[in-house]
Amino acid sequence: MINIAPKLSDQEYEKNFAELHSPMSKNSAIAESNRCLYCYDSPCTKACPTYIDIPAFIKKIATGNLKGSAKTILESNWIALTCAKACPVQVLCEGACVFNEKGEKPIEIGRLQRFVMDKYFEDGMPKLFPPAAKNGKNVGIIGSGPAGLACGAELALLGFDVTIYEAKEIPGGLDTWGVAPYKVRQSDSLKEVKLVESFGVKIITKTRIGKYISFEKLSAKHDAIFIGIGLGESFDLKIEGEDLKGVVGALEFIEEVKKEKWSSVNVGKRVAVIGAGNTSIDAATEAKRLGAEQVMIIYRRSRSEMPAYEFEFELAQQDGVIFYFQTNPVRVIGNSFVEGIECQKMQMIEPDEKGRRRPKPIPNSEFVIPVDMVIKAIGQQTNISFLESIPNLKIENGMIVVDLETYQTGNTKVFAGGDCINGGKEVVNAAYDGKRAAHGIYKYLFEE
Ligand SMILES: Cc1cc2nc3c(=O)[nH]c(=O)nc-3n(C[C@H](O)[C@H](O)[C@H](O)COP(=O)(O)OP(=O)(O)OC[C@H]3O[C@@H](n4cnc5c(N)ncnc54)[C@H](O)[C@@H]3O)c2cc1C
């Protein structure tokens, strides 16, 4: 990159990457939990993809029973600290809180859950879940993201021997390597890894299945397999100039930021992020917080089709990110290094078969935006190469097909969950899938 943004001071980095939501004090947590109406039909619980009994855990905070509160949370969700900090609560539990209807502030469920989980980890993870006697079966899990960890925890407590195989050196999946550090730090994610390990789950890192161990060999070693491999690399833009220095994938960039060695991450003075999903917003806000002078999000559709959540959009705007809607990149310009991006203006026309309005280029509307760095954030592809060797496993639109009751794939011995079956949702969905799949595996090995 020719124009690297000047480095900031350590204090500036720490300020820029400070947590978005501060922890609650004990007094505030008790006061907030006493505000809860403990609704008989608890809409918040229904809106939680893991169905945490939210009124029950909040009531236990109010009565000072924090261990009991942690137990209620963990019974539904093994990835509860990350979820407390990173869930889009505005559209889930807090969005469903009855106080919204009254025009009042919803209960701060995310921060209350974080209060409980922080205390649970501070207290050294008190033993709340006695494992069942060993059942003589063993399961291999591919991937240590939230889906793999949740599946491993649940299986271990059901009496299975569990081994998780992880490609990376540090486990935790995107909680460790993707979710913005101002929401979740690596250290938070690693606490959850430790919790799962405390149940006896073995995690073998630096072991990519399909490369170092074939699926066939793995399958021969275990009574059942769970696949929780998430998604793969960022999609290419497929335009001229994409191979210039300074064009990077969003995940590649975000992974560097997650290492929390802020000053060693080079960011351009002017950065264009292509795409307008939640990952694009993260890449853009992180570039800005690293000191980029100008960050632009370039999106070919209009604001109303933008996949990013409204609150993420607002966060990026507050950070000074500029949005170019109905703008399609057609060429990256430069001479070995990126110097600009040529774009074309788009008009929105009638919807496609999915009901989404389509963008159509406006003739002779090309213009060039001078930039020093381009971040590709138009989605991720499933890493399906090794999956193709699994007999009867069905893949549709890049996603593994499972029975949504049992999480069993077309191969009866193989189960799957998380981003690799849903195309990329949230941590909480992966946590739910992993837990449910563990019961699918139990049923397959003991009840069928
Ligand atoms: C940039 C970014 C920001 C996000 N921010 C949020 C957020 O704020 N809130 C939220 O709720 N969700 C967020 N998400 C989504 C969330 O991170 C994912 O939905 C969730 O992590 C999916 O979990 P998973 O276990 O399915 O996959 P992953 O977390 O991707 O974990 C998969 C694991 O499998 C490993 N693996 C892959 N292939 C192999 C193999 N062949 N052998 C061995 N190991 C393998 C990978 O190394 C990885 O560790 C974000 C996603 C991204 C990309």
Q: What is the pLDDT of residues 10-31, one digit of tens each?
A: 999 999 999 999 999 999 999 9
Q: Which of 179, 258, 273, 402 to mutate to test the pocket of ligand 1 (most atoms within 8 A of CB)?
A: 179
Q: Is residue 413 part of a domain?
A: yes
Please report, rounded to a whole number, the percentage of residues in the chain having pLDDT higher than 90.
92
SS3 of the chain: the string is: CCCECCCCCHHHHHHHCCCCCCCCCHHHHHHHHHHCCCCCCCHHHHHCCCCCCHHHHHHHHHCCCHHHHHHHHHHHCCCHHHHHHHCCHHHCHHHHCHHHCCCCCCCCHHHHHHHHHHHHHHCCCCCCCCCCCCCCCEEEEECCCHHHHHHHHHHHHCCCEEEEECCCCCCCCHHHHCCCCCCCCHHHHHHHHHHHHHCCCEEECCCCECCCECHHHHHHHCCEEEECCCCCCECCCCCECCCCECEEEHHHHHHHHHCCCHHHCCCECEEEEECCCHHHHHHHHHHHHCCCCEEEEECCCCHHHCCCCHHHHHHHHHCCCEEECCEEEEEEEEECEEEEEEEEEEEEEEECCCCCEEEEECCCCCEEEECCEEEECCCECCCCCHHHHCCCCCEECCEECCCCCCCECCCCCEEECCHHHHCCCCHHHHHHHHHHHHHHHHHHHHCC
Residue 369 pLDDT grade (very low, low, confident, very high; cuts 50, 70, 90):
very high
Check pocket membership of 166 for ligand 1, CB cut-off 6 A: yes
CB of 178 within 6 A of ligand 1: the answer is yes
Residues 285 and 372 occupy one common structural domain: yes
Mean pLDDT of the chain: 96
Confidence of residue 78 (pLDDT cuts 50, 70, 90): very high
* Residue 241 lies inside a defined structural domain of this protein: no
Ligand 1: which of 79, 211, 229 to mutate, judged by most atoms within 8 Å of the beta carbon?
229
Measure 414 CA to ligand 1 centroid, in angstroms. Answer: 20
Closest ligand 1 atom number to CA of residue 87: 11
**142 and 188 housed in the same domain:** yes
Percent of the chain with pLDDT over 70: 100
Length of the chain: 448
Q: Is 254 in the pocket of ligand 1 (CB under 6 A)?
A: yes
Tell me which residue has its CA closest to atom 17 in ligand 1. 174
> How does residue 354 score in pLDDT terms, banded at 50, 70 and 90?
confident
Q: How many domains does the chain have?
A: 3
The whole-number pLDDT of residue 34 equals: 98
Is 370 part of any domain?
Answer: yes
Pairing, β 138-142 against β 373-376: unpaired
- For the chain, the farthest-separated pair of C-alpha atoms sits apart, in whole angstroms, at 71
Same domain, 97 and 196: no
- Residue 402: which CATH number? 3.50.50.60
Please tell me whether residues 107 and 37 are part of one structural domain. yes
Residue 2, in any domain of the structure: no
Q: Which domain holds residue 406?
A: 138-232+382-446
Residue 335 Cα, ligand 1 centroid: separation in angstroms? 35
Nearest ligand 1 atom, CA 283: 1
CB 157 within 8 A of CB 133: no
| 240 in a structural domain | no
pLDDT for the residue 1: 62
Angle at which helices 66-76 and 54-62 cross, to 10°: 170
Closest-CA residue to 108 (of 177, 20, 29, 197): 29
- Would the CB of 425 count as within 6 Å of ligand 1? yes
Query: Where does a domain end: 88, 122, 156?
Result: 122
Residue 129 counted as domain residue: no
Terminal-to-terminal C-alpha distance of the chain: 59
Is the distance from CB of 407 to CB of 155 less than 8 angstroms? no
Give ∠ CA 126-128-133 in degrees, rounded to 5.
Answer: 125
Any ligand 1 atom below 6 A from CB of 168: yes
Asked if 154 and 214 sit in the same domain, the reply is: yes
Q: Is the CB–ligand 1 distance for residue 149 below 6 Å?
A: no
95-136 tens-digit pLDDT: 999 999 999 999 999 999 999 999 999 999 999 999 889 999
Q: Which pair of tokens denotes residue 178?
A: 């993707």
Predicted TM-score of the model (pTM): 0.96
141/228 Cα distance (integer angstroms): 7
Spacing, Cα 334 to ligand 1 middle (Å) = 33
| Ligand 1, atom nearest to 383 Cα | 38
- Of residues 47 and 448, more confidence is placed in 47
Cα 38 to averaged position of ligand 1 atoms, centre (Å): 33
Euclidean distance between CA atoms 13 and 402, whole angstroms: 43
The reply to whether 251 and 359 lie within a common domain is yes
Domain-embedded: residue 4: no
Are 208 and 385 contacting, i.e. CB atoms less than 8 angstroms apart?
Answer: no
Last residue of a domain, one of 96, 122, 148: 122
Whether 14 is covered by a domain: the verdict is: no
Q: Which of 381, 318, 286, 308 is nearest to 13 (CA)?
A: 286
The string of pLDDT tens digits covering residues 289-321 is 999 999 999 999 999 999 999 999 999 999 999
Q: Are residues 372 and 251 in the same domain?
A: yes
Which atom of ligand 1 lies closest to the CA of 251?
A: 1
Give yes or no: residues 224 and 256 share one domain.
Answer: no
Tell me, using a 6 A CB cutoff, whether residue 277 lines ligand 1.
Answer: no
Same domain? For 63 and 148 the reply is: no
Query: Does residue 142 have a pLDDT over 70?
Result: yes
CATH number of the CATH domain containing 97: 1.10.1060.10
Ligand 1 pocket, residue 138 CB under 6 Å: no
Taking the C-alpha atoms of residue 388 and residue 394, their distance in angstroms, rounded to an integer, is: 9
In degrees and rounded to multiples of 5, residue 278 shows phi and psi of -65, -35
| pLDDT the model gives residue 33 | 98
**447: pLDDT strictly greater than 90:** no
Q: Which of 427, 428, 433, 436 to mutate to test the pocket of ligand 1 (most atoms within 8 A of CB)?
A: 427
Q: How far is the CA of 99 from the centre of ligand 1 (A)?
A: 33
Q: Is 156 in the pocket of ligand 1 (CB under 6 A)?
A: no
Distance of CA 136 to the CA centre of its chain: 33
Among 357, 376, 395, give the residue marking a domain's end: 376
For the CA of 211, the nearest atom of ligand 1:
41
Q: Could you tell me if 254 and 367 lie in one domain?
A: yes
338 and 420 share a domain? no
Phi, psi of 262 (to 5 degrees): -55, -45
Residue closest to 117 by CA, chosen among 32, 197, 192, 30? 192
Q: Do 309 and 367 share a domain, yes or no?
A: yes
